[in-house]
Amino acid sequence: MARDRSTTTRNSEMQISEDDSRLLAMPGHLIRRLQQISFALFVDQAKAFEITPVQYAAMVAINNHPGIDQTALCNIVALDRSTVGDVVSRLEKKRLIKRLNGSVDRRTKSLYITPAGRKVIKDIEPAVQSTQRLILAPLKAGERGAFLRMLKELVHLNNEHSRAPLRLTRAPQRPRA
Amino acid sequence: MARDRSTTTRNSEMQISEDDSRLLAMPGHLIRRLQQISFALFVDQAKAFEITPVQYAAMVAINNHPGIDQTALCNIVALDRSTVGDVVSRLEKKRLIKRLNGSVDRRTKSLYITPAGRKVIKDIEPAVQSTQRLILAPLKAGERGAFLRMLKELVHLNNEHSRAPLRLTRAPQRPRA
DNA sequence: GGATATTGCTCAGTGTACCGACAATTTGGC
DNA sequence: GCCAAATTGTCGGTACACTGAGCAATATCC
């Protein structure tokens, strides 16, 4: 290892070594890169709306479930409660959703899409579709289905390893002391 | 759309609707989830070292290229200069790397692994390997190679869409005025 | 019905990841 | 060798993402 002497060579003219290739070929590293790319493509395609992928996901879920509370939203979009708090507060500031105090359970906040938010969901649709297309564009047409299927398997079967796992219904929690 | 009335139903008991499924099956959403999982698995497997995937990547690259400057490091690990600045400053605080003023170009910082850092790279290796294995574990053995190959293609061919693309040599930049 | 446990949300703290702007420095054109 | 252009690292700002602590409200056990 350590095959060059950057101290004496000039700045960013850097050759990738074999040791680097080991790192760069790791699944974890490639997944991180693909997430960066996917995020950048979305933001770029949807730049007229100034919306991020997570903000979009939250808006769609709120639109599908009017009055949903933040914890239930966590379970759909797979984020922890703190992050969801941040995301919905940004959406509220942009007046794309409303946040009301829950009438049944006064601890909760009930989330609703606004007319402006509904319009964004509708108008942004082409950008969302083209983003998904662009992400998979480098694959051959026949490979895309297989890749997507494996992606789903990896996410669903590794679900419990995530810090904010998707929960379809209330978890089988609390074996009491 | 909007098939339930969460206002009257109780808290996080939430059924996933068909509209949600459209969202949850998007490549971009799945990639984000897989990155969360991959990150969590790494941190968990390597918890004895309190090291993140990006910190590990930076340490390996610095070990492979003693004296590398921060911009060249960006091009290997695919992060922008601000992020690399944060990452190396955390590694320096933990005394896993050293940061010296460049002798040739006084704008740069020359990065070096410390003995402690070298030991971490060595000792953490089993955790890194088991992480990579766990990420792909849900796939059938015969599928893993294909998935990894497609992942590489997606990253390399979409490279330019990333905000911090991998650069093997100095970019063909600067057509001067 | 009252003690106890659980839940919903927020806050502070840490870390990744980006952008745009900046001073110091180097480089390229002449 | 001088000056304009380019580069390096930092800083402030924004956003995602998680942990752990804490408060208020609700639910549960007896």
Residue-wise pLDDT for B148-161, tens only, equals: 999 999 999 988 77
The residue whose CA lies nearest the C1' of nucleotide C19 is B82
Could you give the percent of chain B with pLDDT greater than 90?
Answer: 75
Nucleic strand D near CB of residue A8 (< 7 Å) = no
Q: Which residue of chain B is at minimal alpha-carbon distance from A166?
A: B33
- The interaxial angle of helices A27-45 and B115-136, nearest 10 deg, is 80
The two three-digit tokens of residue A89, written as one number: 């507060």
Residue A82 CA to residue A39 CA, distance in Å, equals 21
Q: Which residue has the tokens 């004895």?
A: B48
Give the closest-approach CA distance of B93 to chain A in angstroms.
22
> Testing the interface with B: which of A106, A154, A159 to mutate, by most B Cβ within 10 A?
A154
For residue B144, give the amino acid letter.
R
Q: What is the pLDDT of residues A128-169, one digit of tens each?
A: 999 999 999 999 999 999 999 999 999 999 887 776 666 554
Q: Phi, psi (5° rounding) for residue A78? A: 65, 60
Q: Phi, psi (5° rounding) for residue B98? A: -115, 155
Residue A118 CA to residue A97 CA, distance in Å, equals 9
Are the beta carbons of A72 and B6 closer than 8 angstroms?
A: yes
Q: Phi, psi (5° rounding) for residue B100? A: -110, 155
Are the beta carbons of A177 and A93 closer than 8 angstroms?
A: no
Q: Would the CB atoms of B11 and A166 count as touching at under 8 Å?
A: no
Contacts of A83 (CB under 8 A, 6+ apart): A54, A164
Nucleic strand C near CB of residue B105 (< 7 Å) = yes
Q: Would the CB atoms of B16 and A134 count as touching at under 8 Å?
A: no
pLDDT at B4 over 70: no
pLDDT at A120 over 60: yes
Å between CA of B13 and C1' of C29: 70
Nucleic strand D near CB of residue A107 (< 7 Å) = yes
Q: Would the CB atoms of A29 and B53 count as touching at under 8 Å?
A: yes
Are the beta carbons of A59 and A97 closer than 8 angstroms?
A: yes
Residue B150 CA to residue B157 CA, distance in Å, equals 10
Average pLDDT over residues B38-46: 95
Single out the residue of B100, B95, B87, B92 nearest to residue B56, CA to CA: B87
Q: Which residue has the tokens 């942009």?
A: A94
